[in-house]
Amino acid sequence: MIVARRFEFQAAHHLPRHPGKCRNLHGHTYMFDVLCEGPIDEASGMVVDFADVKAAVQARVLDTLDHTLLNDIIEYPTAEHIAAWIWDHLEGSELPVVEIRLWETPSCYVIHRGGDRA
């Protein structure tokens, strides 16, 4: 069973090596899903409590990234690197995370499943 919760944050970034206008400072309303997978616990009837997902994401991700200049936190903050950063910061939690989906715009997103980094 997969349980997912969606989050949103605002942040700015610039990509100095980008050949187009993304090299300039600009902002996004990022949206991301945290997908957790596991068996349904007989006692609770849940894979993971949505409230536990919210608390972990707030403390480990949103408190750091929301309303920031991402370049101050992530070396080269492309959507791919942001999704990997989120994964890395949730990895130490008790959440059974199997996937992060991060939207930079309503039509552009990346999917990170752990070990899929170059």
Give the separation between CA 65 and CA 68, rounded to whole angstroms: 6
Give me the catalytic one of 22, 28, 80, 99.
Answer: 22
Alpha helical stretches, state H, 5-118 = 50-57, 63-65, 79-91
Give me the catalytic one of 26, 67, 91, 108.
Answer: 67
22 is catalytic: yes
108 is catalytic: no
67 is catalytic: yes
Sign of CA dihedral 76, 81, 87, 92: negative
Give me the catalytic one of 13, 36, 81, 104.
Answer: 104
Locate 16 and state its tokens. 């100095």
Active site residues: 22, 67, 104
